Amino acid sequence: MPAFYGMVEIACQILAVDQLRLLDELKAVHQRYHNSEQPFALLETPTVEHRFPKTTPLEKKLQLKEAFDVFERIRGQRLHPYPGVRETLKHIRSSGCSILGYTEAVPENSLFRLILLDLVNDIELLYAPTSRSKEHPDPNHPRKLDPYRNKLRYLPAGHRKPDPSVLVDICDASGQDSAGVLYVGDSLTRDVAMAKAAGVHSAWARYGSINNPEDWQKLVRITHWTKEDVDREEELCERFRDIRPDIEIDTFSQLLEHFSFAATAGHGLSRED
Protein backbone atom coordinates (compact mmCIF):
# COMPACT_ATOMS: atom_id res chain seq x y z
CA MET A 1 0.00 0.00 0.00
CA PRO A 2 2.75 2.56 0.69
CA ALA A 3 4.17 1.94 -2.80
CA PHE A 4 0.74 2.02 -4.44
CA TYR A 5 -0.38 5.23 -2.76
CA GLY A 6 3.00 6.84 -3.43
CA MET A 7 2.44 6.14 -7.12
CA VAL A 8 -1.11 7.51 -6.97
CA GLU A 9 0.03 10.73 -5.30
CA ILE A 10 2.49 11.50 -8.10
CA ALA A 11 0.04 10.39 -10.79
CA CYS A 12 -2.57 12.82 -9.44
CA GLN A 13 -0.05 15.65 -9.73
CA ILE A 14 0.80 14.72 -13.32
CA LEU A 15 -2.84 14.28 -14.31
CA ALA A 16 -4.19 17.20 -12.26
CA VAL A 17 -6.95 14.96 -10.91
CA ASP A 18 -8.51 14.51 -7.48
CA GLN A 19 -7.09 11.50 -5.65
CA LEU A 20 -10.50 10.14 -4.64
CA ARG A 21 -11.59 10.10 -8.26
CA LEU A 22 -8.46 8.26 -9.38
CA LEU A 23 -8.81 5.73 -6.56
CA ASP A 24 -12.40 5.04 -7.65
CA GLU A 25 -11.21 4.44 -11.20
CA LEU A 26 -8.42 2.12 -10.03
CA LYS A 27 -10.90 0.16 -7.95
CA ALA A 28 -13.09 -0.28 -11.04
CA VAL A 29 -10.11 -1.63 -13.01
CA HIS A 30 -9.30 -4.06 -10.20
CA GLN A 31 -12.89 -5.29 -10.12
CA ARG A 32 -12.80 -5.84 -13.88
CA TYR A 33 -9.82 -8.17 -13.47
CA HIS A 34 -11.08 -9.68 -10.17
CA ASN A 35 -7.80 -8.95 -8.40
CA SER A 36 -6.05 -5.91 -6.95
CA GLU A 37 -2.60 -6.63 -8.33
CA GLN A 38 -2.65 -5.25 -11.85
CA PRO A 39 0.81 -3.74 -12.40
CA PHE A 40 -0.41 -1.19 -14.94
CA ALA A 41 -3.99 -0.61 -13.82
CA LEU A 42 -3.24 3.12 -13.88
CA LEU A 43 -2.97 3.03 -17.67
CA GLU A 44 -6.51 1.66 -17.98
CA THR A 45 -8.25 4.34 -15.94
CA PRO A 46 -10.62 6.71 -17.78
CA THR A 47 -8.61 9.71 -16.59
CA VAL A 48 -5.41 8.47 -18.22
CA GLU A 49 -7.21 7.37 -21.38
CA HIS A 50 -8.85 10.81 -21.72
CA ARG A 51 -5.68 12.68 -20.80
CA PHE A 52 -3.58 10.84 -23.39
CA PRO A 53 -5.94 9.87 -26.24
CA LYS A 54 -4.73 7.97 -29.29
CA THR A 55 -1.49 6.95 -27.58
CA THR A 56 -0.05 3.47 -27.10
CA PRO A 57 0.19 1.89 -23.64
CA LEU A 58 3.94 2.47 -23.74
CA GLU A 59 3.45 6.17 -24.50
CA LYS A 60 1.02 6.44 -21.58
CA LYS A 61 3.51 4.69 -19.31
CA LEU A 62 6.28 7.09 -20.32
CA GLN A 63 4.03 10.04 -19.51
CA LEU A 64 3.56 8.56 -16.02
CA LYS A 65 7.15 7.36 -15.60
CA GLU A 66 7.72 9.41 -12.45
CA ALA A 67 4.73 7.77 -10.75
CA PHE A 68 5.83 4.23 -11.65
CA ASP A 69 9.39 5.06 -10.53
CA VAL A 70 8.07 6.07 -7.10
CA PHE A 71 6.21 2.75 -6.83
CA GLU A 72 9.38 0.78 -7.60
CA ARG A 73 11.50 2.87 -5.24
CA ILE A 74 9.17 2.45 -2.25
CA ARG A 75 8.64 -1.24 -2.98
CA GLY A 76 12.39 -1.75 -3.12
CA GLN A 77 12.76 -0.09 0.27
CA ARG A 78 10.01 -2.10 1.97
CA LEU A 79 9.91 -5.53 0.31
CA HIS A 80 11.83 -7.97 2.52
CA PRO A 81 11.29 -11.55 3.67
CA TYR A 82 9.93 -12.02 7.17
CA PRO A 83 12.69 -12.83 9.70
CA GLY A 84 13.94 -16.41 9.45
CA VAL A 85 12.26 -17.22 6.14
CA ARG A 86 15.41 -17.39 4.02
CA GLU A 87 17.37 -19.51 6.49
CA THR A 88 14.48 -21.86 7.22
CA LEU A 89 13.73 -22.50 3.56
CA LYS A 90 17.38 -23.33 2.92
CA HIS A 91 17.40 -25.71 5.89
CA ILE A 92 14.29 -27.51 4.62
CA ARG A 93 15.72 -27.73 1.11
CA SER A 94 19.00 -29.13 2.43
CA SER A 95 17.02 -31.96 4.07
CA GLY A 96 15.85 -33.06 0.61
CA CYS A 97 12.25 -31.93 1.03
CA SER A 98 10.43 -30.17 -1.79
CA ILE A 99 9.05 -26.68 -1.24
CA LEU A 100 6.02 -25.70 -3.32
CA GLY A 101 4.09 -22.46 -3.46
CA TYR A 102 0.32 -22.10 -3.89
CA THR A 103 -1.17 -18.63 -4.29
CA GLU A 104 -4.16 -16.68 -5.58
CA ALA A 105 -1.84 -13.98 -6.94
CA VAL A 106 -1.11 -14.03 -10.67
CA PRO A 107 2.48 -14.83 -11.74
CA GLU A 108 3.25 -11.23 -12.74
CA ASN A 109 3.15 -10.49 -9.02
CA SER A 110 3.71 -13.73 -7.12
CA LEU A 111 6.59 -15.07 -9.20
CA PHE A 112 8.03 -11.60 -9.68
CA ARG A 113 8.08 -11.02 -5.91
CA LEU A 114 9.92 -14.31 -5.39
CA ILE A 115 12.52 -13.06 -7.89
CA LEU A 116 12.83 -9.68 -6.17
CA LEU A 117 13.16 -11.36 -2.77
CA ASP A 118 15.82 -13.74 -4.11
CA LEU A 119 13.69 -16.69 -2.97
CA VAL A 120 12.74 -18.04 -6.37
CA ASN A 121 15.39 -20.78 -6.31
CA ASP A 122 14.11 -22.03 -2.95
CA ILE A 123 10.73 -22.86 -4.51
CA GLU A 124 10.54 -25.95 -6.68
CA LEU A 125 7.13 -25.14 -8.19
CA LEU A 126 4.63 -22.31 -7.89
CA TYR A 127 0.92 -22.95 -8.45
CA ALA A 128 -0.79 -19.70 -9.48
CA PRO A 129 -3.88 -18.65 -11.47
CA THR A 130 -3.56 -17.92 -15.16
CA SER A 131 -3.38 -14.17 -15.60
CA ARG A 132 -6.00 -12.03 -17.31
CA SER A 133 -3.56 -9.11 -17.38
CA LYS A 134 -2.55 -7.38 -20.57
CA GLU A 135 1.01 -7.68 -21.86
CA HIS A 136 3.68 -5.28 -20.60
CA PRO A 137 3.22 -1.85 -22.23
CA ASP A 138 6.73 -2.07 -23.67
CA PRO A 139 6.96 -5.05 -26.07
CA ASN A 140 10.76 -4.86 -25.79
CA HIS A 141 10.79 -4.92 -22.00
CA PRO A 142 13.05 -7.68 -20.61
CA ARG A 143 10.87 -10.69 -19.85
CA LYS A 144 12.12 -11.31 -16.34
CA LEU A 145 9.70 -14.18 -15.69
CA ASP A 146 10.67 -16.22 -18.74
CA PRO A 147 13.73 -17.98 -17.20
CA TYR A 148 11.47 -19.26 -14.42
CA ARG A 149 8.42 -20.37 -16.44
CA ASN A 150 9.40 -24.00 -15.79
CA LYS A 151 8.59 -23.38 -12.13
CA LEU A 152 4.99 -22.38 -12.89
CA ARG A 153 1.95 -24.61 -12.79
CA TYR A 154 -1.13 -22.70 -13.92
CA LEU A 155 -4.50 -22.80 -12.17
CA PRO A 156 -7.69 -21.53 -13.85
CA ALA A 157 -7.99 -17.76 -14.19
CA GLY A 158 -9.76 -16.28 -11.19
CA HIS A 159 -9.02 -19.29 -8.99
CA ARG A 160 -9.63 -18.62 -5.32
CA LYS A 161 -8.94 -20.40 -2.07
CA PRO A 162 -10.10 -22.37 -0.19
CA ASP A 163 -10.16 -25.29 -2.64
CA PRO A 164 -9.03 -28.52 -0.94
CA SER A 165 -9.21 -30.44 -4.22
CA VAL A 166 -6.39 -28.32 -5.67
CA LEU A 167 -4.26 -28.99 -2.62
CA VAL A 168 -4.93 -32.73 -2.94
CA ASP A 169 -3.99 -32.57 -6.63
CA ILE A 170 -0.74 -30.78 -5.77
CA CYS A 171 0.13 -33.52 -3.27
CA ASP A 172 -0.68 -36.23 -5.80
CA ALA A 173 1.38 -34.54 -8.52
CA SER A 174 4.38 -34.34 -6.21
CA GLY A 175 4.01 -37.99 -5.17
CA GLN A 176 3.51 -37.13 -1.51
CA ASP A 177 1.16 -38.78 0.91
CA SER A 178 -0.81 -36.18 2.88
CA ALA A 179 0.83 -37.36 6.12
CA GLY A 180 4.14 -36.04 4.79
CA VAL A 181 2.92 -32.60 3.74
CA LEU A 182 2.92 -29.36 5.73
CA TYR A 183 0.91 -26.36 4.54
CA VAL A 184 1.87 -22.94 5.92
CA GLY A 185 -0.47 -19.97 5.48
CA ASP A 186 -1.56 -16.78 7.21
CA SER A 187 -5.34 -17.14 6.79
CA LEU A 188 -7.44 -19.39 9.01
CA THR A 189 -10.31 -19.47 6.52
CA ARG A 190 -8.42 -19.69 3.23
CA ASP A 191 -5.34 -21.63 4.28
CA VAL A 192 -5.77 -23.59 7.50
CA ALA A 193 -9.35 -24.71 6.80
CA MET A 194 -8.29 -25.83 3.32
CA ALA A 195 -5.31 -27.77 4.66
CA LYS A 196 -7.51 -29.50 7.22
CA ALA A 197 -10.01 -30.50 4.55
CA ALA A 198 -7.21 -31.83 2.34
CA GLY A 199 -5.80 -33.93 5.18
CA VAL A 200 -2.38 -32.28 5.43
CA HIS A 201 -0.57 -30.77 8.40
CA SER A 202 -1.33 -27.08 8.91
CA ALA A 203 0.69 -24.22 10.37
CA TRP A 204 -0.89 -20.82 10.87
CA ALA A 205 1.64 -18.04 10.24
CA ARG A 206 -0.05 -15.74 12.71
CA TYR A 207 2.48 -12.96 12.08
CA GLY A 208 1.27 -12.70 8.48
CA SER A 209 -2.23 -11.73 9.58
CA ILE A 210 -1.03 -8.68 11.53
CA ASN A 211 -1.56 -5.58 9.41
CA ASN A 212 -1.13 -1.88 9.88
CA PRO A 213 -4.78 -0.72 10.30
CA GLU A 214 -4.16 2.35 8.15
CA ASP A 215 -2.68 0.26 5.32
CA TRP A 216 -5.59 -2.18 5.62
CA GLN A 217 -8.15 0.59 5.18
CA LYS A 218 -6.23 1.86 2.17
CA LEU A 219 -6.30 -1.63 0.67
CA VAL A 220 -10.05 -1.94 1.23
CA ARG A 221 -10.46 1.43 -0.50
CA ILE A 222 -9.11 0.12 -3.83
CA THR A 223 -9.75 -3.61 -3.53
CA HIS A 224 -11.46 -5.65 -6.21
CA TRP A 225 -13.91 -7.03 -3.66
CA THR A 226 -17.55 -6.75 -4.59
CA LYS A 227 -20.50 -7.14 -2.23
CA GLU A 228 -20.59 -10.82 -3.23
CA ASP A 229 -16.92 -11.17 -2.28
CA VAL A 230 -17.55 -9.58 1.12
CA ASP A 231 -20.55 -11.84 1.70
CA ARG A 232 -18.46 -14.87 0.74
CA GLU A 233 -15.70 -13.87 3.17
CA GLU A 234 -18.22 -13.43 5.99
CA GLU A 235 -19.71 -16.83 5.19
CA LEU A 236 -16.24 -18.44 5.29
CA CYS A 237 -15.45 -16.79 8.62
CA GLU A 238 -18.69 -18.08 10.10
CA ARG A 239 -18.25 -21.59 8.66
CA PHE A 240 -14.68 -21.95 9.92
CA ARG A 241 -14.85 -19.89 13.09
CA ASP A 242 -13.85 -22.90 15.21
CA ILE A 243 -11.04 -24.10 12.95
CA ARG A 244 -7.70 -24.65 14.65
CA PRO A 245 -4.33 -25.26 13.00
CA ASP A 246 -1.97 -28.02 14.09
CA ILE A 247 0.48 -25.35 15.19
CA GLU A 248 0.64 -21.56 15.39
CA ILE A 249 3.91 -19.77 14.66
CA ASP A 250 5.08 -16.23 15.33
CA THR A 251 8.23 -16.60 13.21
CA PHE A 252 8.78 -18.84 10.20
CA SER A 253 11.77 -20.52 11.84
CA GLN A 254 9.49 -21.97 14.55
CA LEU A 255 8.50 -24.63 12.01
CA LEU A 256 11.78 -26.33 12.85
CA GLU A 257 10.73 -26.61 16.51
CA HIS A 258 7.62 -28.59 15.61
CA PHE A 259 8.58 -30.69 12.60
CA SER A 260 11.50 -32.75 11.35
CA PHE A 261 12.10 -32.57 7.61
CA ALA A 262 13.63 -35.41 5.61
CA ALA A 263 13.51 -36.81 2.10
CA THR A 264 11.69 -40.12 2.42
CA ALA A 265 9.37 -41.79 -0.05
CA GLY A 266 5.89 -40.40 0.43
CA HIS A 267 6.63 -38.75 3.78
CA GLY A 268 8.62 -35.53 3.89
CA LEU A 269 8.24 -34.62 7.55
CA SER A 270 7.25 -35.79 10.99
CA ARG A 271 5.90 -34.04 14.07
CA GLU A 272 8.36 -33.21 16.83
CA ASP A 273 5.70 -32.45 19.44
> Can you give the pLDDT of all 273 residues of the chain as single tens digits?
899 999 999 999 999 999 999 999 999 999 888 888 888 999 999 999 999 999 999 999 999 999 999 999 999 999 999 999 999 999 999 999 999 999 998 888 899 999 999 999 999 999 999 988 778 888 877 778 889 989 999 999 888 888 999 999 999 998 888 889 999 999 998 899 999 999 999 999 999 887 778 887 888 888 887 777 777 777 877 877 788 999 999 999 999 999 999 876 555 566 666
Number of domain units in the chain: 2
How many alpha carbons fall within 13 Å on the CB side of residue 113?
16
Which run of H or E residues covers position 152?
strand 152-155
> How many Å apart are CA 266 and CA 177, to the nearest integer?
5
Question: Which among 45, 78, 111 is the end of a domain?
Answer: 78
Question: Which among 17, 45, 78 is the end of a domain?
Answer: 78
**What's the domain range around 150?**
86-271
Angle between helices 2-15 and 213-222 (to 10 degrees): 50
97, 177: one domain: yes
Q: HEC profile for 21-64? A: HHHHHHHHHHHHHCCCCCCCHHHHCHHHHHHCCCCCHHHHHHHC
Question: Which among 78, 94, 123 is the end of a domain?
Answer: 78
100, 190: one domain: yes
Q: Which three-class secondary structure state does DSSP give residue 124?
A: coil
Burial (CB count within 10 angstroms: exposed 0-12, middle 13-18, buried 19+), residue 118: exposed
232, 127: one domain: yes
Q: Are 162 and 190 in contact (CB under 8 A)?
A: yes
